[in-house]
Amino acid sequence: MGDWIHPGVLIMLGAFLVPFLGNRKVKQVYLILLPSAGLVILLLTSMGFFGAIPAFPGALHKWRIPFLHYTLELGRIDKMSMIFAYVYVVIGIAMLIFALREKNDWEHVSALIHIGSSVSAIFARDLFTYIFFVEIATWSAVFLIWFRGTKTSKASGFRYFLWHVVAGGFLLAGSIMHVQTTGSIYLDLMPWGWGWPYLAYYFMMIGFLIDAGSFPVHSWLPDAYSTGGVTSVLYVTAFSTKTGIYGLVRCFPGVELLMWLGVVTAVVALFLAVLENDARRLCGYHIISQDGYMICGVGIGTYLGILGCVSHIISHIIYSCLLLMGASTVLSVTGTCKFTNTGGLYKYMRISFWLYLIGGFSISGMPYFNGFVSKSMTIEAAELIHQPIVYLLLEGATVGTFLHTAVKLPYNLWFQGRDEPPADIRVKLKDKPENTPINMLIGMTIPAFLCVYMGVYPYYPFYEMLPYPVDFVPYTITRVFSISQMFVFTFLAAWYLRTLIRGTPTYTLDSDWLGRVPGYALVSFCRGPLMAFGAFLDRSMLKVADVAITAVRNPGIALKMTPSAIGAGVTIIVVIFSLLAAILMKGI
């Protein structure tokens, strides 16, 4: 096992102690200490306490376990896995602080298992360990969604589960085929091409893409994120898609298909976001859109593309957590985060608004926020490989992101041109400038600080932690001026069309319609016509059996009682069935 303690496994196993800690204060301290212990292990690992980490792609190899003819490896410690693990653990701590007042112990248990299994999946070197931990993460995520306790959350939790089981199935099928043909079980660069020999890699890619929330298999994401528990769904939003993209970065860098899929995802999600009425669904579409950037970065595949992808994942986990926290504060304080029911909250939730806005500016890529640095890398990578269409679509996605997260969402939740919220919400609010509980505000401050710090000074420790050496200078006059001018004019268009970006009490269909509506049709076909046919068959067979019994008991009377043709028919059926039964019995 070696001297290294696996932080993911530590957090997962430590989770089971939570329900046994009697005192609530002790429990709360433990909830913070457990992931902090993981963070300490990561820091010690970085400092070379368990051996020096070689330059990427070199790695330290820990926790190697022999299994059948293979050696599973739970701890591949290289710069790529370390940066993911750091951000997972730090954001996990911020989320646990945010959810500290939650009384349901099992929510905390599921959350810690989700964080731990995601970290473990990141450290896995072989495909089977990766899939194993991703499946644990899926299970815990389903519970985290169910903790909302509503009928819709139950249904969408099941849908989330189905999607991820399908993804896991594809991944496992592809992995087994890969292992059979090559003999290698490692989650590393995979071959790519067109044709039957590459079928295994198509399966693996489909699995990763479903997990990553790529178009057209993205629809589970807003569905699950908008119906999950107020605080519990935050964990799902941060880690599940990023673990999928991590798989893509490891296995399929430089696959051009991914570049195009990424830009399409980035743009399509924004069109759907315009029509949204629910703040959390809107954030869900933005997560999809940003995932598009990352997938595009993987597809570009140059050093800068991969760096853009990885740094965007890191920035994104931080600011998307902040955005979702903002929506969750409104949901937990007012009981709703639908645009048609909110507005005018600024007077009562000021600090949450400003903290949210830091997340909004970061995701839009505003200068001096972390999104700017990472997004510029991906866009520059597209420019350097001379892809004007990809470049324009990514810029278009930047415009759309600014429109929604920095204009539409804050305007609809906190303002809508009103000083006071609607009466039914006003009664839930106290007369003070901030109604959000203090632990939630502290939870939001951690990612908000990171968003600003990484934006203002990305060189240390952010650049140092990235897998490849970085000489990218984000703050040039050209870049800062261009994006600022673009945002000024985006606001202008949004201002003229502001009546169109208000929420409407409607539901927007997505690509899951293709599965759900035929699914319902299939269920209603089974319930209606198929059941009726089954019942008819049942009745007919019983009748036949009745006649057969009578015929066997007293053939003479039966023939007299029934018309001769039916009698003959019945006799034939009985004979055929008896013969069939005899053959079958003999066969067995």
Residue numbers of the site for another protein (CB under 8 A)?
Answer: 270-275, 383-384, 386, 388, 391-392, 395-396, 399-400, 403, 476-478, 481-495, 497, 500-501, 504-510, 516-517, 520, 524
Q: Which is nearer to another protein, 522 or 583 (by Cβ)?
A: 522
Shortest spacing between CB 492 and another protein, in angstroms = 6
Nearest 5 degrees, angle CA 226-CA 230-CA 236?
A: 65
The tally of CA atoms less than 13 A away on the side-chain side of residue 281 is 23
DSSP-assigned letter for residue 77: E
CA nearest neighbour of 103 among 196, 230, 241:
230
Shortest spacing between CB 423 and another protein, in angstroms = 21
Q: Which is nearer to another protein, 140 or 398 (by Cβ)?
A: 398
Q: Which is nearer to another protein, 23 or 478 (by Cβ)?
A: 478
For residues 114 and 140, is the Cβ–Cβ distance under 8 A? yes
Shortest spacing between CB 431 and another protein, in angstroms = 23
Q: In whole angstroms, what is the distance from residue 110 CA to residue 235 CA?
A: 9
Return the structure tokens found at 451: 């968003």
Q: Which is nearer to another protein, 173 or 275 (by Cβ)?
A: 275
* Amino acid letter for position 349: M
Shortest spacing between CB 329 and another protein, in angstroms = 24
| Maximal C-alpha separation, the chain | 106
* Amino acid letter for position 423: A
Q: Which is nearer to another protein, 270 or 307 (by Cβ)?
A: 270
Shortest spacing between CB 140 and another protein, in angstroms = 26
One DSSP character per residue, 24-76 reads HHHHHHHHHHHHHHHHHHHHHHHTTTTSPPPSTT--EEEEEEEETTEEEEEEE
For residues 111 and 99, is the Cβ–Cβ distance under 8 A? yes
Shortest spacing between CB 427 and another protein, in angstroms = 24
The tally of CA atoms less than 13 A away on the side-chain side of residue 111 is 33
Residue count (the chain): 588
For residues 313 and 239, is the Cβ–Cβ distance under 8 A? no
Shortest spacing between CB 267 and another protein, in angstroms = 9
Torsion of CA 471, 476, 482, 485, to 10 degrees: 130
Shortest spacing between CB 562 and another protein, in angstroms = 43
Q: Which is nearer to another protein, 436 or 490 (by Cβ)?
A: 490
Q: Which is nearer to another protein, 119 or 357 (by Cβ)?
A: 357
Shortest spacing between CB 219 and another protein, in angstroms = 12
Q: In whole angstroms, what is the distance from residue 546 CA to residue 98 CA?
A: 68
Contact partners, residue 103, CB within 8 Å, separation at least 6: none
For residues 132 and 243, is the Cβ–Cβ distance under 8 A? no
Element (H, E) at 577: helix 564-587
Q: Which is nearer to another protein, 518 or 555 (by Cβ)?
A: 518
Q: Which is nearer to another protein, 73 or 223 (by Cβ)?
A: 223
Shortest spacing between CB 450 and another protein, in angstroms = 27
DSSP-assigned letter for residue 576: H
Q: Which is nearer to another protein, 107 or 512 (by Cβ)?
A: 512
Nearest 5 degrees, angle CA 169-CA 174-CA 175?
A: 95
Angle between helices 350-364 and 388-401 (to 10 degrees): 170
Shortest spacing between CB 218 and another protein, in angstroms = 15
For residues 459 and 341, is the Cβ–Cβ distance under 8 A? no
Shortest spacing between CB 483 and another protein, in angstroms = 7
CA nearest neighbour of 506 among 235, 183, 274, 221:
274
Residue in the structure block whose two tokens are 């001096």? 368
Q: Which is nearer to another protein, 118 or 376 (by Cβ)?
A: 376
Q: Which is nearer to another protein, 177 or 274 (by Cβ)?
A: 274
